[in-house]
Amino acid sequence: MELSSITQANYLMLFGMMINKLYIAFFLSLIGLFSCSSIPFIEKNQATAKVANVAQKVLPPYEEGSIGDGVVKAVESILPQQFLQAAKELFTVFTTKEIAITDYYRTAKFASMKVKTGRTNAIMVLANDYDGVLQWVSADEIQIFTKNGKIIRTIGLNNDIFVTDPPNILEIYTKLLSERAVAYDASIISFSEPSMDGETIKYKYFLGDPFKYSLLLNGRVIEGRILYEEIYIKKLLWKRKNKYWVDPAGHIIKSRQFLNPSIDYMEMEVIKKYGG
């Protein structure tokens, strides 16, 4: 499947995030270190093949001669395998350190969000729009898929989820504003570890209080309404309450969502909205 322009541009951004300006000097020194023939783990005449393998795993395939193809070739030509691995381990996007929203993120051309789960933080960027299902990717290859702000699939977590026939929570939100006090829905959810397929997850929706919120992009204060989503899986006797901050245009700008019984909630805050 041919990659969209969103995908190409955002993989470039991911690569840029991993090789942040603040670490260029350190990275260059690592290149020199790993290129030395005295280092025993650099196998002569085999480094190029190893680098190519790593580059193909980290970056997706591109058409010959495209900008993305040029990035892959650049990675293959200058970065030994051990250097690229060191970069991923030392400067992975998911970190226990607080991430400051700098102009580097504010001036990016494409949509991005700040993600927090437990004590770890991340910046994720939009890689694709599959007919309203948005794919968000971090530099360490964690993937989150959302529909109208609700997480419906994850890849790369300790216990991934996949939600079949998810509710349209923005449609439910609109109805709650005008018609009713409570709304109900249900989906089918599967977990990866431990493996559990096809469990029914029930939802109960109701509105919370109005809120004021300072946008991460520019600090502008906006008002909106809280939407609560109670989730319940009978077989697991597991019940939690998710929380969505909905702006006046009906966009979810922040959320706290419980994904599975084994981890704390995942908090997502929009840095730059997607205009698709």
Q: Could you read off the pLDDT of 124-182 as tens digits, one per residue?
A: 889 999 999 999 998 888 999 999 999 999 999 889 999 999 999 999 999 999 877 99
Q: Which residue has the higher pLDDT, 73 or 162?
A: 162
pLDDT at 53: 44
Q: Are 229 and 205 in contact (CB under 8 A)?
A: yes
Looking at this protein, which amino acid is placed at residue 152?
Answer: I
pLDDT at 43: 34
Confidence of residue 275 (pLDDT cuts 50, 70, 90): confident
Sign of CA dihedral 259, 264, 265, 270: negative
pLDDT at 259: 95
Q: Which residue has the higher pLDDT, 150 or 41?
A: 150
Q: Is 96 a residue whose pLDDT tops 90?
A: no
Confidence of residue 28 (pLDDT cuts 50, 70, 90): very low
pLDDT at 184: 96
pLDDT at 119: 77
Distance from C-alpha of 207 to C-alpha of 173, rounded to nearest angstrom: 8
Confidence of residue 97 (pLDDT cuts 50, 70, 90): low
Q: Is 1 a residue whose pLDDT tops 50?
A: no
pLDDT at 37: 32
Residues 6+ apart with CB under 8 A from 93: 17, 18, 122, 123, 124, 138, 139, 140, 142
Q: Is 18 a residue whose pLDDT tops 70?
A: no
Q: Is 2 a residue whose pLDDT tops 60?
A: no
The DSSP bridge partners found for residue 230 are 204, 241
Q: Is 70 a residue whose pLDDT tops 50?
A: no
Residues 6+ apart with CB under 8 A from 9: 109, 110
Low-confidence winner among 35-44, 136-145, 219-228 (lowest mean pLDDT):
35-44
Set out the domains of the chain in order of their start, with CATH numbers.
21-90 (no CATH), 103-272 (2.40.360.10)
The percent of residues above 90 in pLDDT, for the chain, comes to: 45
* DSSP SS3 for 171: helix
Quote the tokens at residue 129: 């729009």
Task: Give mean pLDDT, residues 110-122.
Answer: 86
Q: Are 94 and 140 in contact (CB under 8 A)?
A: yes
pLDDT at 7: 55
Task: Give mean pLDDT, residues 13-19.
Answer: 52
Confidence of residue 209 (pLDDT cuts 50, 70, 90): very high
pLDDT at 11: 52
The DSSP bridge partners found for residue 232 are 202, 239
Q: Is 239 a residue whose pLDDT tops 80?
A: yes
Average pLDDT taken over every residue of the chain: 75
What is the per-residue DSSP string for 112-166? Answer: EEEEEETTEEEEEEEEEEETTEEEEE-TT--EEEEETTEEEEEESSSS-EEEES-
Q: Are 117 and 126 in contact (CB under 8 A)?
A: no
Task: Give mean pLDDT, residues 237-251.
Answer: 95
